[in-house]
Amino acid sequence: MDFSHLLISDPQSLLVSRDTCLVCGNHQNRYILDLDLSAMDTFWQHPKIQARRYIHHLKSVCPFQVYECPRCGFIWQRNVLRSDAETWLYQAEPIGRGPGSRAAKYRSGGGEFTYYKSLNQVASGIYYLFRKNPGEIKILDFGAGWGDFTLIAKSFGYDVCVCEVDDDKINYFENMNIKNITIPSKQKFDFIFTSDTFEHISEVTSVLRLLLTQLKEAGYIYISVPTVKSNRIVKDTSAALLKAIRPFEHINIFSPKSLRLWGIKNGLKPAHFGGYLIETRERFNYKSIIKQYILKGWRSWFTTNQLFKKQTS
């Protein structure tokens, strides 16, 4: 469905308000921002925000309100697009820079080494979680984008599917014989990878629960989302807006604590990769073990890249 006419004629009908903390259910939340959206010039003028050509119709009908839960630290935009309009916006103005553009940036020295390295670490870590033939490990890349992780996982030999809503991306995967599934599906996966997806989704918890029905018992899910501290949002609205929080696009901000709690409340147990790091020639080098294994495990307490294991019922 195309919502562009409704955006002009009745923008209010496309909005929903989220008043309760989506992680812990707390009703007593506080505003950390309550701004007039139409006055936020740095946002509307920024060249990277392509979707503004649609969402500017919304700026006069709702304020930009950002809530923080004092109990768990979850931060979210109160007024967001309802989920069908949210999906439409993503398709109408796909976020991301086209197939291969991130790899091209990497090749030409534009950074991204850490990004590719971390995707490789996850891909190799998956093998040590299951210790079976890669071709027997079924992986779902949920919100796969242009497939940065999908292609790496495929090169490791895993059986990889994607779940995307944007037609250009679905066609791109089809041309490479990578199957796109819609959820709910009959397929079950050993591992679900999802990066930079849940910050876009208004009904985060119902989507997570649906996604977990695709995960086998004792399977793993790796969730990676951007994060920013609330004091930074308050202090430096323009910079924060363009990164972790962005009207109608980046609508949820997890902290390391709220991300872990969200997983636990939905039947997951925090886990971490690790085994593979000491399976090297350096196995008996204690410094390497401390640096790579122990510190790596602790690092997940300070980031919003979290591995979870599905609890067996």
Give 3-state DSSP helix, strand, coil % of the chain, rounded to 5: 40, 20, 40
- Give residues 2-21 in contact with Zn ion (rule: CB under 5 A): 21
Least Cα distance to 9 among 58, 79, 51 occurs for 58
Work out how close the CB of 20 gets to Zn ion at its nearest, in angstroms, rounded to a whole number.
9
Work out how close the CB of 250 gets to Zn ion at its nearest, in angstroms, rounded to a whole number.
18
Kindly tell me which residue out of 55, 69, 153, 245 binds Zn ion, with binding defined by CB under 5 A.
69
Q: How many residues bind Zn ion (CB under 5 A)?
A: 8
| Number of neighbours of residue 157 by Cβ within 10 angstroms | 14
Least Cα distance to 274 among 124, 115, 113, 119 occurs for 124
Work out how close the CB of 141 gets to Zn ion at its nearest, in angstroms, rounded to a whole number.
28
Q: How many residues does the chain have?
A: 313
- Give residues 130-189 in contact with Zn ion (rule: CB under 5 A): none
Rounded distance between C-alpha atoms, residue 263 and residue 211, angstroms: 12
Rounded distance between C-alpha atoms, residue 77 and residue 209, angstroms: 21
Q: Is residue 72 involved in binding Zn ion (CB under 5 A)?
A: yes
Say which amino acid occupies 19.
D
Q: Is residue 32 involved in binding Zn ion (CB under 5 A)?
A: no
Work out how close the CB of 25 gets to Zn ion at its nearest, in angstroms, rounded to a whole number.
7
Kindly tell me which residue out of 46, 57, 71, 296 binds Zn ion, with binding defined by CB under 5 A.
71
Q: Is residue 26 involved in binding Zn ion (CB under 5 A)?
A: yes
Q: Is residue 23 involved in binding Zn ion (CB under 5 A)?
A: yes
Residues that bind Zn ion (CB under 5 A): 21, 23-24, 26, 69, 71-72, 74
